A and B are shown apart, each in its own frame.
Chain A
């Protein structure tokens, strides 16, 4: 690891000020960042450790309007075990949190850190490879190389997948996020956190340099809201999803009145599937309907040489998520 300046801020304002300095990286739990620094994949001059701001930035609260406010530094364990997530509307978010990594990681890792994760692409993450991502080379090496864990949807010049478990259920719940950049406080739709055009040159998220996520806001859900999150893996202990699906449904009188379906681990960003969601609205749940929705969720997919299995398995995961949401 290259030497760097380590900033331990006493307040959010101090952190914001320190993070304005060039070649600075913000650190939450540091679960992944420290590894990348050890390997010299990243060599910042300054690290701003956000963990001392836990008093301000950690914890889950239910606001007066019923909205859930999740502090950016809340650990995954805190989130999973918070009583507010016991409601069926939040099943998907709770399950996604609980199946992330390992208990040790969840006790340490933060909500914002999970959402803002760097790609797990094995070409991008090795200094030996010079690929398009990050401007290190002329082409995406995974596109024509070993790509069993890469994208089948929504990719253009880079086939990395977005690794966050929390992003799909938060998108499905119409969440928003707050940030602070210098003195500027902003609150936006969760979808704006991810690049609309997820090309190699665009990072995994749309934050500006020095912009700090402070909280995630999940709106109060209407009565009859159900949600689910399912993912496929190659093993059950500590693995990344090969495909994932988060759904949120509102059921009234046995009829689906609203639906959000979001795919994870199959595209460079967590991917809302509006057409598939639309098929659900106004319908009664049935195996036939869910099979049709699963097909639509993967409509237009372009699998690579080694990952067409993701289509078969991904559709099964969509069906499973829908089944679990209406169970």
Chain B
């Protein structure tokens, strides 16, 4: 790493942006180097003067030369996870540990009028029974928690659960938002039939359009399906509570539980939350939930440690979901193919809460159009939605991008040309061209399916956007960095790593700053006794903590440099840490030797996250493009995705391998969303029918395409590191690109996800019909 910044009059001059994407084409490729043969690709750099907060690490920018950052480093906790040494909440155990379960409502709507717990309390091996609802409280969905029991083993607990008498005043329920009282009227084929509200501007623009289109789209409920279910293990020591919780928001949940316990009149001297390893969250683990509080209360009542982890049915039915949606668009283009009118309305499938169903749609195609967007959340008597990887986006992008392809087809324009013509974002303009070249868009589009052939192929594309970079936090996020005399280094955050690679990122950033190998750095996450950090939400964790990791390493380095300078008798300003050595000129100490100067007490510092740089970063939102190729068996209706390519703008790439894993994982989840996953409800009982991993279908290895991604590294001038998160951005485009490929292959759109064989056959029948 080296800094070549010229100090400007009132700040530091940085170079933002990226080298031409043409430079990333393979050697030997006709287009490399320089991107000359892919017209339009070019270097995109800007310089800007930024004012880092005093004491913060100097900015990294497009000129920075890295040693570790951007390379492939194996997941630092990979071996521990693969061998079972990593202990998840699910694995925690203590002498005398009790096990617990929740009694759940079997009716979807009603009022709790009686709850008899006495018999359960008196049963053998039962240590605690608590009510989770007061008498008279509403019961809102099948699975709503009524009571919880802790006992010696799950068999005895289940016996006790069966002896609890819950009386309910049952009311009529509806679990299908499409027939909710305030739902729009639908035709027999599922098109929204309500009149569009009057709007003169839109009406005029549509009337002026050369080509218009109007269609309805629909997506089903997807559940998060984290491999580790929700729940935790609670252990009181006197008034002090330790809780191991499977969560993606350690500090948020710690606070939530502390407040809730206080509300129950329980005075906790301290609440310490642990989530060192977490088996996925995808947005569903931002709250401690009913089970999180219940396990604390049960442990308090039983005066013993208690474990309460949900089973798979509970996980599917009580911990949130990506909501279903009904979406309708009408739009028009002028004679040149420019979008001049865009009218959109959507209806979100909410649970009993009646919110959380929102749908997002791209706004960068319609800069010059008359635009209207409307959304209404519709309630149903089910478990409410929770955020899931880019809330609202995969739904809306599916509807909007498929609509755009249908509109382009009507106007006789190639989908890629149509995007290039209407997309106002420069970064994505480059990405469209690059992806088209890498994927072989033109050839894929030109391929003709034999008339009457059983198997047909097609290609499709979609854009992506996500609009969040990191935040300093209030109070600012912190990181502990320690350097020990044996040369090992610790980097500690109280925030969590839910499997995305946060620990690896921390180790790599620390190693980069100290000029050592990442293997010397032990990164630890998830204990609220360590400095605070954000939730894993909105793709903000990495960009929020990365500058703090650097700052902590910088402070620790400064202390070590002083020791070394004194030892060598050189000025501190001359001492450099690089390549595992510390020193000035000829006077160099190996890292391990230098650390011996530290003595028995380690260097122990706390770094912090400073404010983002003032002014506009190079890109305030992340752009992406994905392309997909499908092969469809027109006899059986089975869609197979054969190839996918994604390019994802991701700020500074830190841990390359894990960043790619995030992008490829999102594409896989997108295949699953497009083709397989859906919650199926029994309308009469209000109960989910496929609340398991047998009938809730998730893409498996044989269903996967050949996957490739390109990480589009951009110096964004946002803070001292310039990282971007990758939870959300690569999750937006996949299903839309696959749907467009299906449209291309069949010559008829499948407007309802998942695109199961029955729907493919209906689309084929409609095309013929």
Contacts and interface: CB of A to CB of B under 8 A. Distances in A.
Do A and B come together as binding partners?
Answer: yes
A237 B684 CA distance: 31
A309 B761 contact: yes
B702 A145 contact: no
Nearest to B699: A235
A146 B757 contact: no
Contact of B700 (A120, A128, A236, A313): A236
B690 interface: yes
Contacts of B680: 146, 148
A126 B687 contact: yes
Interface in A209-231: none
Interface string A298-327: 000000000001001100110110000000
Given A128-B685, A309-B758, A319-B635, A237 B699 contact: yes
Contacts of A235: 675-676, 697, 699-700, 702-703
Interface in A120-170: 120, 122-123, 126, 128-129, 141, 145-146, 148-149
B3 interface: no
Contacts of B602: none
Contacts of B703: 235-237
B106 interface: yes
B757 A234 contact: yes
A315 to B, nearest CB: 9
A145 B684 contact: yes
A313 B689 contact: no
B684 A236 contact: no
Interface string B361-396: 000000000000000000000000000000000000
Contacts of A253: none
Contacts of B635: 313, 316-317, 319-320
B431 interface: no
A179 B492 CA distance: 64
A128 B640 contact: no
Interface in B728-763: 756-758, 761-762
A242 B636 CA distance: 10
A237 B757 contact: no
A2 to B, nearest CB: 7
Contact of A313 (B155, B640, B697, B761): B761
B701 interface: yes
A187 interface: no
B17 to A, nearest CB: 42
Given A242-B757, A313-B636, A320-B635, A234 B697 contact: yes
A14 interface: no
Contacts of B676: 234-235
A122 B638 CA distance: 23
Contacts of B757: 232, 234, 242, 309, 313
B636 A316 contact: yes
A146 B176 CA distance: 13
Contacts of B155: 1-3
Given A146-B680, A232-B757, A309-B758, A317 B636 contact: yes
B330 interface: no
A236 B636 contact: no
Nearest to A243: B636
Given A126-B687, A145-B684, A237 B701 contact: yes
A240 B699 CA distance: 14
Interface in A80-133: 120, 122-123, 126, 128-129
A232 B682 contact: no
A237 B697 CA distance: 10
Contacts of B640: 236
A234 B756 contact: yes
B58 interface: no
A191 B697 CA distance: 32
B138 interface: no
Interface string A25-52: 0000000000000001000000000000
Nearest to B154: A1
Given A122-B690, A146-B682, A235-B703, A312 B761 contact: yes
A122 B695 contact: yes
A108 B697 CA distance: 22
Contacts of A120: 694-695
Interface string A1-15: 111000000000000
A239 interface: yes
Contacts of A149: 695
B689 A146 contact: yes
A40 B158 contact: yes
Contacts of B252: none
Contacts of B690: 122
B487 interface: no
Contacts of A240: 694
B106 A128 contact: yes
B638 A232 contact: yes
A234 B639 CA distance: 9
Contacts of B158: 40
Given A122-B695, A146-B682, A236 B702 contact: yes
A233 B684 CA distance: 27
A249 B757 CA distance: 29
A320 B633 CA distance: 12
Contacts of A232: 636-638, 757
Contacts of B637: 232, 309, 312-313
Interface string B662-677: 0000000000000110
B210 to A, nearest CB: 38
Interface string B682-713: 11110101100011010111110000000000
A35 B245 CA distance: 26
Report which residue of A40, A141, A237, A240 has the largest number of chain B beta carbons within 10 angstroms of its beta carbon. A237
B603 to A, nearest CB: 49
A126 B680 CA distance: 14
Contacts of A148: 680, 758
A236 B698 CA distance: 11
Contacts of B106: 128
Given A235-B675, A235-B700, A122 B761 contact: no
Contacts of B702: 235-237
Interface in B203-253: none
Contacts of A316: 635-636
Interface string A190-223: 0000000000000000000000000000000000
A208 to B, nearest CB: 29
A320 B702 CA distance: 20
Contacts of B700: 235-238
Nearest to A122: B689
Contacts of A233: 638
Nearest to B758: A309
Contacts of A238: 700
Contact of B687 (A1, A3, A128, A239): A128
A20 to B, nearest CB: 27
A30 to B, nearest CB: 16
Nearest to A1: B155
A159 B347 CA distance: 34
B221 to A, nearest CB: 14
A149 B158 CA distance: 31
A129 B636 contact: no
Contacts of A40: 158
Given A146-B682, A237-B703, 17 more contacts: A120-B695, A122-B690, A141-B682, A145-B682, A232-B637, A235-B700, A236-B700, A236-B703, A237-B702, A238-B700, A242-B757, A309-B757, A309-B762, A313-B636, A313-B761, A316-B636, A320-B635
14 contacts: A120-B694, A120-B695, A123-B682, A123-B689, A126-B689, A129-B682, A146-B683, A232-B638, A234-B676, A234-B697, A235-B699, A236-B702, A313-B758, A320-B635
Which 9 pairs show the lowest CB-CB distances between chains A and B? Answer: A237-B700, A316-B635, A309-B758, A236-B702, A122-B689, A237-B702, A232-B636, A235-B703, A236-B703
Interface of A: 1-3, 40, 120, 122-123, 126, 128-129, 141, 145-146, 148-149, 232-240, 242, 309, 312-313, 316-317, 319-320
